[in-house]
Amino acid sequence: MQTVNAKYKKEEKKIPTLRFPGFEGRWMEKRLGELCSTFKSGTGITSERISNNGRYPVFGGNGLRGYTNSFTHDGFYFLIGRQGALCGNINSVNGKSYISEHAIAAAANETSDTEWLAQRLEFYKLNRLSESSAQPGLAVNKLVRLRLIVPSRSEQKKIASFLSAVDQKIQQLTRKKEVLELYKKGVMQKIFSREIRFKPDGADFDSAQPAGARPEVEKSRVVERSRNYPDWEEKRLGELAKRITIKNKDNKITFVLTNSAVEGVVSQREYFDKDIANQNNLKGYYIVSKNDFVYNPRISSSAPVGPIKRNNLKKGVMSPLYTIFCFNDENLDFFEFFFETKVWHRYMHSVANFGVRHDRLNITNDDFFKLPIPSPSEEERRRIICFLRSISKEIEFIKIQLTQTQKFKKGLLQQMFV
C-alpha cells in the first residue's frame, strides 16, 4: 500500500498547480541534454578583441561585455554563467553574437522551447550545482544530466510567452526607476552646486509632477542664477549638528546597524545575512537614534569619500568606527538630499590623509565637523525639499510596483513549474 501511495504522489508531482486552459495530462521527465540542440561553452576571447567599434556583441556570464568584429553564434540562445559570483546566471541573446568561454550557450531542439528552458533554469537556481564553494563553477557534462519535468512544446511556448510579458513589465519598471534616479541625481547636483535656482513667484513644488523625468519639469520650475532669492550662506557642520558618542554601556540595545553606500543605514543581520558583531559584547558600540546621521569612512566606487546616510529605521547601535551626529535643525530632508550629492566631496578630499589605509578616508573629527554646509533661505529650502520629495515619492512608488511584479512572477513560477 505504501508503494502505491508513493508512486501516486510521484505522478501527482508531474502536474503543475496552475495551468492554461486546453492543456491536460502529466508532464514528462527528461534530461536537459535531451531538450537541447546546442549546449556548450563559448570560445575564448582576449580583451584586445573587444571594443566599442566592433559589429557584434560579446556575451559572457554576466551579459554584454563589449563588441568585436567576428561572431560565434547566430540565433536565439540562453546563456548560463559558468564561474564566479554569477555562476548559474541566465541571460538571453538573439542574432549574431560572440559568446565567450565564461558562458554556456544553449538552444532547444524541436521538442522544446528555448525561452521556456531559460525561464525554467532561472527558477531552478543552477548555482546550487556548483562544484566548488571557493570559486563556484558549472560543468557542461553535469548540467546536461539534470532532470527536468517538462510539458509539451506547445504548452512550453504558452508559458514562455506569458512569462516574457511579465519580464517586459519588470524591465520597463526597472528602466523607469533608473531614469528617474538619474534625473534626481543630476538635478540635486545642480541645485546644491547652485547652477539652478528657484523662482520666488514661480509655481510651488508641492504639486510638481516629475514622473518620467521630463526635462520641461526642470525648465518650468527653476531658472539659472536667479537673483530673486538671497544668496546662500555657508555654515560649518559643527554649527548645525553635534557628534553622538553615547555608548551602549549596559548592553541593552542589540539591534546592530551598518551604513551601506548603496542601501543606506540598514540592519547588519539582514544586510550580511548573519550577525557580524558579537551580540554579547556591544558595550563599546555607539547608540544611534532614528534620524541621526552616520558617516562611514570606508570608500568605494559608489562612495569615493565614504557615505553619509540618515538612520530612517529605529534606535540601534553601531561600531565606533563610524561618526554619528544629529542636526539641531528640523529640515532633515534637506541635509539628507545634500549628502546624496558630490558637492561636499571636494572638501573631504582636501582634508583627508590617504596614507594610512587605502580603503578608508582618514579624516580628523575637527576637520570633519568643519565641513561646509549650504544654507539657503527658509522659503527656498522648503521648495527644494518639496521638489526633491516629489521625485523621491515617484521613485518609491515605482520600486513598490517593481517589487510587487517580481513577487507576482515568483509566485507564478512556483505554481507553473513542476
pLDDT in tens, 23-66: 999 999 999 999 999 999 888 888 888 888 889 999 988 888 89
Domain assignment present for 306: yes
- Residue length, the chain? 418
Q: pLDDT at position 271, please?
A: 80
Q: pLDDT at position 54, please?
A: 87
Asked if the model's pLDDT at residue 13 lies above 80, the reply is no
Measured CA angle at 298 (ends 297, 303), to 5 deg: 95
Query: What does the block give as the cell for 288?
Result: 544611534
Q: pLDDT at position 117, please?
A: 96
First to last CA, the chain: 25
Q: How are beta strands 293-295 and 323-327 bridged, if at all?
A: antiparallel
Out of 127, 150, 173, a domain closes at 150
Domain assignment present for 11: no
148 closest CA partner among 167, 130, 129:
129
Domain assignment present for 17: no
* Pair (250, 178) in one structural domain: no
Distance CA 83, CA 137 (A): 4
The DSSP symbol for 36 reads E
Q: What is the mean pLDDT of the chain?
A: 87
Residue labelled with grid coordinates 557642520: 237
- The larger pLDDT score, comparing residue 411 to residue 203, is at 411
Domain assignment present for 403: yes
177 closest CA partner among 387, 399, 404:
399
Measured CA distances, 259 to 14, 265, 282, 322, 352 (Å)? 46, 4, 17, 9, 20
pLDDT in tens, 74-94: 999 999 998 877 788 999 999
- The larger pLDDT score, comparing residue 180 to residue 83, is at 180
Q: pLDDT at position 410, please?
A: 94
Asked if the model's pLDDT at residue 221 lies above 50, the reply is no
* Pair (174, 61) in one structural domain: no
Domain assignment present for 398: yes
pLDDT range class, residue 357, cuts 50, 70, 90? low
Contact 45, 71 (CB under 8 A): no
Q: pLDDT at position 61, please?
A: 81
Distance CA 132, CA 90 (A): 19
For residue 212, which phi and psi values (nearest 5 degrees)? Answer: 85, -5
Which range in 83-97, 183-197, 225-239 is most confidently predicted, on average pLDDT?
183-197
The H or E element containing residue 332 is helix 332-339
**In the chain, how many domains are there?**
3
pLDDT in tens, 263-282: 999 998 888 766 666 666 78
Give exposure, 37-60, as e/b (b: 16+ Cβ within 10 Å): eebebbeebeeeebeeebebbbbb
* Pair (304, 382) in one structural domain: no
Q: pLDDT at position 145, please?
A: 94
* Pair (243, 351) in one structural domain: yes
Give bridge partners of residue 104 from the DSSP assignment. Answer: 41, 80
* Pair (225, 244) in one structural domain: no
Q: pLDDT at position 47, please?
A: 80
- The structure's pTM equals 0.79
- Which residue range forms the structural domain that includes residue 196? 152-229+376-418
* Pair (65, 174) in one structural domain: no
* Pair (131, 40) in one structural domain: yes
Average the pLDDT over each of 58-62, 252-256, 273-277, 308-312 and give the range with the smallest value. 273-277
Q: Tell me the three state secondary structure of residue 86.
A: helix
Q: pLDDT at position 209, please?
A: 39
Distance CA 396, CA 390 (A): 10
Q: Tell me the three state secondary structure of residue 144.
A: coil
- The larger pLDDT score, comparing residue 385 to residue 134, is at 385
* Pair (268, 368) in one structural domain: yes
Asked if the model's pLDDT at residue 227 lies above 80, the reply is no
What DSSP string describes 242-268? EEE--B-TT-----BEEEETTTEEEEH
Asked if the model's pLDDT at residue 322 lies above 60, the reply is yes
